[in-house]
Structure 1
Amino acid sequence: MAPGDILIDVKGVAKHYGAGETRVDALRSVDLQVRAGEVIALLGPSGSGKTTLLNIIGCILAPTAGQLALDGETVFDGRWLRDDLRRLRLDKIGFIFQAHNLLPFLTAGENVALVLDLAGAPAAMGQARARELLDYLEVGHRAGEKPAHLSGGEAQRVAIARALANRPRIILADEPTAALDSQRAQLVMDLLRKLAAEQEACIVTVTHDEKIFDRFDRLIHLRDGHLVQT
C-alpha cells in the first residue's frame, strides 16, 4: 500500500444506548478518514464520544449504524464481517490505554514479547523487539521487573512498547501520556510520529495533554457526538 492511503475509513457511524426518552446518542453519523503517516488527536469534554469512537475503530464496540474499513478492508457494515476480531486486532491494531493493563505475573520484557509470541513469531524475535522498544523508551534497565515494581510512568512506557511490538499500521491511544512528565511525553509522541512515517502507520490519540498538541497533524473535536475538524 502506498504512503498516504486510507487506513481508517469511518462512514456514517452512530452509536446510541437505550430507546425512547432514555436514549443516549454517544455518536451521531460520524465520518472520519485517517491516512498512512498521519498522527491525529481526538479532543472534547467528558461524554463527547471520544472513547466510544476509539473503541469502535478498535473493533471492541459495535456501532449502531454505519460502516468501518481498516487498512482497505471493510470490517463492519451493519454487522461485523470478520469472524475472528481478536486476530484482526492482533494483526492490524496496537492499543495504548490510560491504565497500563500489564500482566502482573510477567516481567516488563515478557509483557512486550508476548504480543509477538501470540502472533506466532519466534521467541528470540520477540525478545529482541522488546529490548529495542524498552531501550528506546528508557526503561530497558527495568525489563526484568514485574509491573508491581515499576513506577506509574515506567509501567505506561512498557505498555506503549507492548502496543508497538507487532508493528501495527493502526495505533489507538487513550491518554497515553497522562502519567508522563513533559520530556517523556514528548519522547513518546516523537516515537509514535517516527513509527507513523517509517511504517506507513496512522495514530489516533484521545488526549487532554496540551503539551503534546504540537505533535499532531490534525486536532479533531467531538462535541455531543458530532465531529468537528480543525
Structure 2
Amino acid sequence: MTAAPLVLLEGIAKQFGTGETAVRALSDVNLAVGPGEVVGLKGPSGSGKSTLLNVIACIMAPSAGRLSLAGEPIWDERYLVRDLRRLRRERIGFIFQFHNLLPFLTARDNVALAMTLAGQPRAQARQRAQALLEELEVGRRADAMPARLSGGEAQRVAIARALANAPPIILADEPTAALDSERARVAMDLLRRVARERAAAVLVVTHDEKIFDRFDRMVALRDGRVEAEVLRSA
C-alpha cells in the first residue's frame, strides 16, 4: 500500500466487563486499509469481526489503542472528534447484517434520506437513489415499502443507502448473506467499482466463500487477534 491508509488501527483492544468476568473481544489489532482497497474480514463466530467493525465505525469505543480515519486521529485513549454522528454520516457507509430500513419509507426514499440529511436537494437525492437501486438490480422495487421487499431486495436497498453519500470508508457486516450467488457478485462488483473510482476503502465481514475472489486481501481473525493476511491478487 503506497497511499496513506483511510482506515488505520494501531494496537486496538476491546474488553467487555471487568475482573473475573471480563471478556477480551479484541487484542492488539493492527490493520490498515488504503484508498481503492477491498478487504475481507473472516473468522469463526466470536472471533471479534463485528466488534472490530463497530469500533472502526465509532459505534463502540475501544479499550486501548489508536484509530485514525481518512488521515484524522479519531481515538487515542478517548474520542478526539466531538461530533461522531457527523463523522459517521459524512465519512462512513455502513451496511448492517440486517437491513434496518425505515418501515414507513419506500425503498427509494430510504436511500434518498441519507442524502437529504447531508443537505442534498430532495429531487436530486431521489434521482441518485433510483440510479443506485438500478445498479443493484432492484430499481423496479423503488416504490415498494420495506415490508413488501424480499430479504435479498431489502439488503440491496441497504447497500444502496450506504453508498448514497459517496463515503470514503465503507464497512459491511455480512452484506451478501441474504443474496444468491449472482446477486452477491453484482453487489461486490459495485463495491469494488466504488472503491476504484472513488478511491474508497472497503472492509467487509463475511463467511460467504462465493465472494472471496472479489477481495484484494483477506484478513483472518481468531480470538480477537489478526491471525493471518492473504493477498487475493497474488
| TM-score bracket for this pair, using the shorter chain length | over 0.9
Could you say what secondary structure the match of 1:185 adopts? helix
How far apart, CA to CA, are the structure 2 residues paired with 1:150 and 1:185? 17
What is the correspondence of 1:80-99 to structure 2 with a 5 Å cutoff? 80-99=79-98
Whichever residue aligns with residue 198 of structure 1, its letter is: E
How far apart, CA to CA, are the structure 2 residues paired with 1:82 and 1:95? 19
Q: Does 1:154 align with 2:153?
A: yes
What is the correspondence of 1:165-184 to structure 2 with a 5 Å cutoff? 165-184=164-183
How far apart, CA to CA, are the structure 1 residues paired with 2:40 and 2:170? 12
Could you say what secondary structure the match of 1:68 adopts? strand
Q: Is the 8 A contact 1:112 1:158 kept in 2?
A: yes
Aligned-pair CA distance for 1:59: 0.5
Map of 1:47 onto structure 2: 46
Could you say what secondary structure the match of 2:6 adopts? strand
Map of 2:198 onto structure 1: 199
Could you say what secondary structure the match of 1:21 adopts? helix
Q: Which runs of 4+ in 1 moved over 3 A?
A: none
Aligned-pair CA distance for 1:5: 2.7
How far apart, CA to CA, are the structure 2 residues paired with 1:179 and 1:194? 21
How far apart, CA to CA, are the structure 1 residues paired with 2:21 and 2:46? 16
Aligned-pair CA distance for 1:12: 0.7
How far apart, CA to CA, are the structure 1 residues paired with 2:102 and 2:155? 13
How far apart, CA to CA, are the structure 1 residues paired with 2:145 and 2:191? 25
Whichever residue aligns with residue 51 of structure 1, its letter is: S
Could you say what secondary structure the match of 1:95 adopts? strand
How far apart, CA to CA, are the structure 2 residues paired with 1:163 and 1:85? 17
Gaps of 5+ in 2: none
Q: Is the 8 A contact 1:169 1:201 kept in 2?
A: yes
Q: Is the 8 A contact 1:37 1:202 kept in 2?
A: yes
How far apart, CA to CA, are the structure 2 residues paired with 1:23 and 1:134? 44
Aligned-pair CA distance for 1:20: 2.2
How far apart, CA to CA, are the structure 2 residues paired with 1:66 and 1:142? 44
How far apart, CA to CA, are the structure 2 residues paired with 1:162 and 1:4? 27
Whichever residue aligns with residue 164 of structure 1, its letter is: L
Could you say what secondary structure the match of 1:6 adopts? coil
Q: Is the 8 A contact 1:4 1:37 kept in 2?
A: no
Aligned-pair CA distance for 1:145: 0.7
Map of 2:102 onto structure 1: 103
Q: Does 1:73 align with 2:78?
A: no
Taking only aligned residues, the RMSD between alpha carbons, in angstroms, comes to 0.9
How far apart, CA to CA, are the structure 2 residues paired with 1:226 and 1:149? 41
Map of 1:143 onto structure 2: 142
Could you say what secondary structure the match of 1:66 adopts? strand
How far apart, CA to CA, are the structure 2 residues paired with 1:28 and 1:200? 29
Map of 1:113 onto structure 2: 112
Whichever residue aligns with residue 184 of structure 1, its letter is: R
Instruction: List per-residue Cα deviations over 1:24-80 (Å, max 9, x = no partner).
Output: 110001110000000001110111000000000000000000110000000111011
Could you say what secondary structure the match of 1:110 adopts? helix
How far apart, CA to CA, are the structure 1 residues paired with 2:214 and 2:222? 22
How far apart, CA to CA, are the structure 2 residues paired with 1:112 and 1:38? 24
Aligned-pair CA distance for 1:4: 3.3
How far apart, CA to CA, are the structure 2 residues paired with 1:28 and 1:148? 40
The percentage of counterpart residues that share the same residue type is: 63
How far apart, CA to CA, are the structure 2 residues paired with 1:144 and 1:40? 33
Gaps of 5+ in 1: none
Map of 1:60 onto structure 2: 59
How far apart, CA to CA, are the structure 2 residues paired with 1:5 and 1:183? 34
Instruction: List per-residue Cα deviations over 1:125-156 (Å, max 9, x = no partner).
Output: 20111011001111111111100011111100
